[in-house]
Structure 1
Amino acid sequence: MSDTALIRAVRMLGVILLAVLGAIGLSTPAGAVTGPTPTVVLVHGAFADSSGWRDVAATLREDGFGVQTFDNPLRGPAYDSGLLRKQLASISGPIVLVGHSYGGMVITNTHDDDVVANVYIAAFAPERGEFVQGLLNPITYPGSRLLPPALQLKVVDDPTVPGGKNLDGYIAEPYFRDIFAQDVSAATAADMFAHQKSAALVANLEPSGDASWTTVPSWYLVSRQDRVIPPALQRFMASRAAPGHTSEIDASHASLVSQPDAVSAIIRQAATA
């Protein structure tokens, strides 16, 4: 049998199977994907690691999606997006990129023909030339509490830079829950703090390259109670990157942990659009 004939036969078997399932009263589970199933790649931001996606990833897998997380180095948009592109190259089929917080900088700078949607979760969605610290301008968009003494600096080993040392920022423990995740339990916040990854200071100052959202359909979920990225700034970025695809929830910056169902829902929306 030729390849073309084999493909036609498989497609016909699929049609027959669906007809049989319909005839006996069975249907596809709610939220499941019936077309080519995208792989969802979850990109964490600063002051976190991939463990924050745990509940979101579990829900999406139950819905039939392949899910991967990206261990974001938090070194800068160009370096981090370069590593992400290498991971995407190993994935077959359509991809949905999801970025939280600084993870939005990374997915914005990631260009891959297989990416069919971007999803921003309380994330930076810059235009070319914009950078994190510039977007967090307290005069234009006041409200961020990501300031000293809550935000502290330390010297870290970093083989990606000359000299092997870098200056990283992190949120000090007494302030972590109140700033980053005020709507989760104390125990959950303590676990998140234990998984915190520091971010290179220069990552906040490195300008974005061309924005992927100019060519890739994008969705945005605003956190109305965010104390890291002011909600007004989120709405501004969403108005450019995700017009018509913006939702809001009453959540902290860590909505992926405090409201995983709402976060999963908007990812599902993007993946099935």
Structure 2
Amino acid sequence: MIAVLGDEDTELPLPIPGLDAVVLPAVDSRQAPPGDVDAVYLAGLDTAAARLRQADLSAAWGIPCVTREELTAVALAASLFAALRQARKQPGAARVVIAESTAIPTLCPLLVAAGVGEIASWHPADAVTFPLSRIAQRADAVLDPVGGGVPVVDPRIELRGPVLIAADDPEHPLLALPGLVRALLQVPGAQPGIEVLLACVRALTACTAFGRRLPDRSDPELTPTVARLAARALAVPEETR
């Protein structure tokens, strides 16, 4: 059983295929977790609060704890690699811009680990001096972790703009969750580091049909593939990763 911790604004597309999930109200890490809970998904907290809560619960309860921010980064990265594959471009030759990168701190190190050639960050505070449309002129893709769309094309320039990949579907972070939890539960004390998350990215990419950005949630091979690749990453000693 996975405990889903969120807040009153959290939108969860329950049920989650492949997982028995229960939504819990605020919990105290000084108390023991419910007896049938063996993993935690932090679904609705802001990034900073979620990271603190993740460290607190992982240390106190000794069970896997995964955040929505981490799995949003996985889904965005997998969508990027699907788009690059369709454009017949290798990640090492790609230029990517992350809009509002502070909202998703896992994404940049994840793309670095995946071998993306050039990564730039942009923040709304830079808009007057450095409009996103200018920063993105030579980019292959712009990643929008907040969702809602951002203007990436300068209308004065008659060139094809970069691909915009936005975190605008609450189901996308859940695609890798069942398989990742299955892998983490095989290793006592395991937590999702960058190499494990990268394995999830590769699994989602492998299950994505050409012409699509992400796999179908109902694909029977999705969870086993994520679990297999994540377990393989966990089996590599941390000092050699």
Asked if these proteins are the same fold (TM beyond 0.5), I'd say no
**Which TM-score tier does this pair reach, normalised by the shorter chain?**
0.3 to 0.5
- TM (norm. structure 2) is 0.34
Larger Rg: 1
- TM (norm. structure 1) is 0.31
Considering fraction of residues, name the structure with more strand. Answer: 1
